[in-house]
Amino acid sequence: MNGVAGVRLGTGRGGISASKVYEGRDDVLVMAIDPGASVAGVFTQNGFRAPPVYMAEERLAAGEVRALLVNTGNANAATGKEGFARAHTCCRMLAEKLEIDADSVLPFSTGVIGEQLPLEAMRVGIGKATEVLALDAWPQAAEAIMTTDTIPKLQVRDLEIGGRKVSIRGIAKGAGMIAPNMATMLAFVATDAGIERGLLAERLSRFTEESFNRVTVDGDTSTNDACILVATGASGVRADEESEGFWSALRDLMNELASALIEDAEGGNKTVRVLVEGGRSSDECRRVARSVAESPLVKTAIFAEDANWGRICMAIGNAGLEDFDQSLVDVYIGELPVMKGGLASPDYDEQAASLVMREATYGLRIALGRGSARGEMLTSDLSHEYVKINADYRT
Amino acid sequence: MNGVAGVRLGTGRGGISASKVYEGRDDVLVMAIDPGASVAGVFTQNGFRAPPVYMAEERLAAGEVRALLVNTGNANAATGKEGFARAHTCCRMLAEKLEIDADSVLPFSTGVIGEQLPLEAMRVGIGKATEVLALDAWPQAAEAIMTTDTIPKLQVRDLEIGGRKVSIRGIAKGAGMIAPNMATMLAFVATDAGIERGLLAERLSRFTEESFNRVTVDGDTSTNDACILVATGASGVRADEESEGFWSALRDLMNELASALIEDAEGGNKTVRVLVEGGRSSDECRRVARSVAESPLVKTAIFAEDANWGRICMAIGNAGLEDFDQSLVDVYIGELPVMKGGLASPDYDEQAASLVMREATYGLRIALGRGSARGEMLTSDLSHEYVKINADYRT
C-alpha cells in the first residue's frame, strides 16, 4: 500500500502491559511527520482527561508537530504529576531518536487507568518503532493501536486534484467505546494535501461531529479520546474551501472509520442508524437520536430483535424537547411505519418489523413533525456479551 | 393493619392483559377519598406522557379529588384522543359507583404501551373493587399495582402528635424503573393528618426529589410515572411547617419506598448508594452521582464485584463540571479509600475493596473537594439477568 508523503510510521513491542489482550502484539506506534505540516486535533471533554491528552492539546496549540507517539496497555490516566513527567520523558526519548524538539511530539495513551506508564517498556517500544519507520506501514499501525478491538480499522482514499494524486489514510481504534480498557477512541488521519491550519481545524471539528461524535455504545466517553488530522502538503497540491472532492473523500473516510467502530463494538451484534428528522434544530434531533441510541431498554429490544416501539416512544419522550407534541410523531423500523401521529400505525405489521430487526444493519427513523432539521446517531445492541465482557474483565 | 381514616381501598380483577405476568392477579385498584382532603401530585416529565397522566395532573389542579383509579396491564400510552376518551369513560364508571363527580377521579395506568385500554375489563375490575372498599386493604392495594415487581412495597408509619394518633401509609411499584412494562413508577401515599394544600405540594415535591428521583436503574423514565400524596385530615390533627416529627416520618416512609424499588430492581442483585460530597452545589453533586450511577461500565463492575475505580473516574469526568480539578477528588468504596487526590490511594487494597463489593448493599463515596454541597443516588448493578429479562420479554 502507498502511504502519505511526509508521514512515516513505525511500530514495536515494548511489553507495556502484562494483560493477555496485548500478548505478542506491538504496543507502540510512532508517526514521524516532515517539517511544515498542518496538524489539527479534537480531544475528549471528560473531566478526568489523562495527562497525555492535556499535553497533546497544549503542544498542538503551541507550535509545530513533528511526531505522534501512541501506546496501548496503559492509559496514563489518573496518574497526576508523575503521569505528566513520564509522558514528557517518553516524548523526549522519541525526540532524541528522531532528532527533533521534544515539544513537537504529541503523546497518546490507551489502556488501564490509574497505573504509572512503565518507562523501560516505552523505551524499548520507541526504540523498535523508530528503527522501522516507513511510508507504507499503515496496516501495521492500525494493528498496533488496537486494544480489545477484534479487527484493525484502516481507511484509504486516493484521488486526483488538478491532475495530481492526493492520498488520505486513516486508522482508528475503539472496540465500541465500551471496552474493558475504557474504550478509548483514537483516530489518526493524514493526507499529503497542503491545507491551511485554520481550515484544517474547522473541517476536522465539523467532520468529527458527523462521524466519531455520532457513534455511541453506552454514552460513556473515555479519559483519553482523541482524533488527529495531519496535512503534510508533500503532494504539492493545496486543498482549500473549494476542493469539494477532497473534503467529501475525507468526510467519507472518517464516517467509515466511525461505522467500523460500531461494527466492532464489544458484545454488539447490530449496527443501527437512528435518524431523527423534522426537528426544529439539528441539535434537538441529535438529542432525540442520542436518547434513543443510548436507552438500555431500546438496546435490549434491538438485541432481542423485538419490534417494541413503546420503548422508542419512551426514549423520544425522555429527550426533554420543549413544546413537544407526541401526536406529530411518526416512527419507522427500516421502511415500515410502526407509529403514525403518536399512535400505533394502522399498517403496523409486527412480524414484518421483526424481520427488519433480524438484519445486522438497519435504520430507525423518527419524524418529529415540528421542523426541517435532521440529526442521527449510530448505535449497537445491548447483549449478554456486553455484560459478560465488561463484567469478566479485570483491570 | 389499621389504615388511614378517610381513605378506603378496594381491588379487583378485570382481566385487562392476557400476559402471564398478571395471571390470576387483581389489576384494578380504587382508592376512595372522603370529602375535604388535600391532594398533591408529581408526574413524569416524559414527552410521551400517557393520557391518564395529563388528566390526573389537570384534574388535580382544577378541583377536589375524591378517588384514584389505578390499573395494571395497559399503560394507556401512545393512544391519542381515543386514549383520553377511554380514560374519561373509566373515571365515569367509577364515579357512578361511588356517586361522585367524574372530574374528581384521577386515573393511573401501567403496562403495555400503544394499545387501547379494554373498557369491558376495566368495568369488571372497577365493579369488583368498589364492592370491597375497606380502610385496611393497603396490603391488597400494594399487590394490585404490581407489574413485574417480585414483592409488594408497603410502608406504614403511626405516630402521635399532641397526644393524638396520626397514620401514614404508602405503596409503590416499579420493578426497578427498567421493567418490561416500561417500568412505570407509581406511588400512593396517604395520611389522616390535615395539611394545607400548598404546604403538602411543596413537601411532596421536596421529598420526591430526595427519594424517588434519587433512584435510578438505567436512566429511562417512563411515560406513566406518578406519585400522589393525600392528606384527609380525618385524624383531627393538623400538620404544619413546625410538625417536624410528622415530616420526618413522611420523608422516611418515602425514602424506604424508593429503596424498595431498587432492591426489587429487575435483574439487579446490588443496592449501591452513590454519595457525592464536597461539590459547589447539590445540583452538581447529583449530576456526578447520576453519571456514576447510570454508567453501564460502572454498573457491570458492580455486578462483577470488581473494584475497577478507573471506571468511576471516567464517569465522574463525564458529568461535565466546570473548572473541574481531578487532583482534588477522592473516591471511597465503602469506607476504603481507593483514590486520593486524583491518584490511586497509597493505602489502596484491591482485595479489601472487592470484599466490600461482595455485599448486597454498600456505598460509593466521591469527595469533589471544591465545596460543601452533597448529593446522592441509589443504583443497582447491570447483570446478565437485566439483559435477559429485557430482551426476552415480548410486549
Taking only the tens place, the pLDDT of each residue in A363-375 is 999 999 999 999 9
Query: A331 or B265: which carries more pLDDT confidence?
Result: A331
Euclidean distance between the first and final Cα of chain A, in Å?
A: 36
Cβ within 8 Å, pair A48-B326: yes
Summary mean pLDDT of chain A: 90
| Distance (Å, whole) CA A225 – CA B137 | 56
Q: What DSSP element (H or E) covers B188?
A: strand B186-191
Whether the predicted pLDDT of A47 surpasses 90:
no
Task: pLDDT band for A139, please (50, 70, 90 cuts).
Answer: very high
Give the nearest partner residue to A46 out of B178, B314, B343, using CB atoms.
B314
Chain B residues in contact with A313 by the CB 8 A cut-off are 48, 77-78, 113-114, 223
Q: What DSSP element (H or E) covers A52?
A: helix A51-62
User: What is the pLDDT at residue A328?
Assistant: 96
Q: What Rg value do the Cα atoms of chain A yield, rounded?
A: 22
Q: Cell match 388535600: residue?
A: B38
User: What is the pLDDT at residue B99?
Assistant: 98
Task: pLDDT band for A177, please (50, 70, 90 cuts).
Answer: very low
Chain A residues in contact with B319 by the CB 8 A cut-off are 47
| Distance (Å, whole) CA A278 – CA A269 | 29
Whether the predicted pLDDT of A329 surpasses 90:
yes
Task: pLDDT band for A180, please (50, 70, 90 cuts).
Answer: very low
- B74 close to A (CB below 8 A): no
Is residue B184 annotated as part of the catalytic site, yes or no? yes
- The residue of chain A with its CA nearest to that of B51 is A326
Whether the predicted pLDDT of B219 surpasses 70:
no
Which residue in B155, B130, B81, B74 sits closest to B395, CA to CA?
B74
Percent of chain B at pLDDT > 90 equals: 69
The SS3 of residue A267 is coil
User: What is the pLDDT at residue B266?
Assistant: 64
| Distance (Å, whole) CA A64 – CA A60 | 7
User: What is the pLDDT at residue A174?
Assistant: 83
User: What is the pLDDT at residue A219?
Assistant: 56
Over residues A130-159, mean pLDDT: 95
Give the nearest partner residue to B48 out of A46, A313, A394, using CB atoms.
A313
| Distance (Å, whole) CA A68 – CA A268 | 31
**CA quadruple A50, A53, A58, A63: dihedral sign:** positive
Question: pLDDT digit string (tens) for B41-90?
Answer: 999 888 899 999 999 999 999 999 999 999 999 999 999 999 999 999 99
ipTM of this predicted structure: 0.79
Q: What Rg value do the Cα atoms of chain B yield, rounded?
A: 22
| Distance (Å, whole) CA A161 – CA B344 | 53
> Which residues, numbered 5 to 44 in chain B, qualify as contacts with chain A under a Cβ-Cβ cut-off of 8 Å?
none
Task: pLDDT band for A217, please (50, 70, 90 cuts).
Answer: low
User: What is the pLDDT at residue B259?
Assistant: 87
Least confident of A56-60, A69-73, B218-222: B218-222
Count of residues for chain B?
Answer: 395
User: What is the pLDDT at residue A182?
Assistant: 45
User: What is the pLDDT at residue B174?
Assistant: 83
Sheet with B330-333: strands ordered across: B215-216, B373-379, B271-279, B361-367, B330-333, B336-340, B343-344
Helix (H), strand (E) counts: chain B: 11, 16
Task: pLDDT band for A179, please (50, 70, 90 cuts).
Answer: very low
**pTM for the predicted model, two decimal places:** 0.82
Sheet with A373-379: strands ordered across: A215-216, A373-379, A271-279, A361-367, A330-333, A336-340, A343-344
CA B94 to chain centroid, in Å, comes to 25
Whether the predicted pLDDT of A178 surpasses 70:
no
Cβ within 8 Å, pair A387-B222: no
Percent of chain A at pLDDT > 90 equals: 68
Cell readout for A41 is 486535533
> Which residues, numbered 174 to 233 in chain B, qualify as contacts with chain A under a Cβ-Cβ cut-off of 8 Å?
178, 182-183, 218-223
Question: pLDDT digit string (tens) for B317-353?
Answer: 989 899 999 999 999 999 999 999 999 998 888 899 9
* Identity of the amino acid at B110: T
A-B CB pairs within 8 A amount to 210
Question: pLDDT digit string (tens) for B110-162?
Answer: 988 889 999 999 999 999 999 999 999 999 999 999 988 889 999 999 999 98
* Identity of the amino acid at A268: G
Per the CB < 8 A criterion, the answer to whether B110 and B52 are in contact is no
Angle at A268 between CA A41 and CA B305, to 5 degrees: 90
User: What is the pLDDT at residue A395?
Assistant: 39
Question: pLDDT digit string (tens) for A336-357?
Answer: 999 999 999 988 888 999 999 9
Which regions of B221-286 does DSSP assign to beta strands (E)? 226-231, 271-279
Summary mean pLDDT of chain B: 90
Per the CB < 8 A criterion, the answer to whether A69 and A91 are in contact is yes
Which residue in B258, B199, B262 sits closest to B229, CA to CA?
B199
- Per DSSP bridges, beta strands B164-173 and B153-161 are antiparallel
| Distance (Å, whole) CA A293 – CA A376 | 9
Task: pLDDT band for B249, please (50, 70, 90 cuts).
Answer: very high
Whether the predicted pLDDT of B359 surpasses 90:
yes
Side-chain-side CA neighbours of residue B271 (13 Å)? 13
Sheet with A164-173: strands ordered across: A38-43, A226-231, A186-191, A164-173, A153-161
Active site residues of A: 184
Chain B residues in contact with A333 by the CB 8 A cut-off are none
Whether the predicted pLDDT of B389 surpasses 70:
no
Per the CB < 8 A criterion, the answer to whether A144 and A9 are in contact is no
Which residue in A144, A62, A57 sits closest to A106, CA to CA?
A57
User: What is the pLDDT at residue A97?
Assistant: 98
Q: What DSSP element (H or E) covers B53?
A: helix B51-62
- B321 close to A (CB below 8 A): yes
CA dihedral A49, A53, A54, A55 (to 10 degrees): 150
| Distance (Å, whole) CA A252 – CA B31 | 60
The SS3 of residue A67 is strand
Chain B residues in contact with A296 by the CB 8 A cut-off are 178, 218-220, 296, 382, 386, 390
Over residues B359-370, mean pLDDT: 95
Helices (H), B173-243: 197-210
Whether the predicted pLDDT of A55 surpasses 80:
yes
Question: pLDDT digit string (tens) for B174-205?
Answer: 865 443 334 678 999 999 999 999 999 999 99
> Which residues, numbered 138 to 167 in chain A, qualify as contacts with chain B under a Cβ-Cβ cut-off of 8 Å?
none
Per the CB < 8 A criterion, the answer to whether A95 and A54 are in contact is no
Task: pLDDT band for A44, please (50, 70, 90 cuts).
Answer: confident
* CA–CA distances in Å: residue A179 to residues A184, A256, A392, B343: 8, 20, 12, 22
Percent of chain A at pLDDT > 70 equals: 93
Cell readout for A208 is 468529527
Over residues A165-173, mean pLDDT: 96
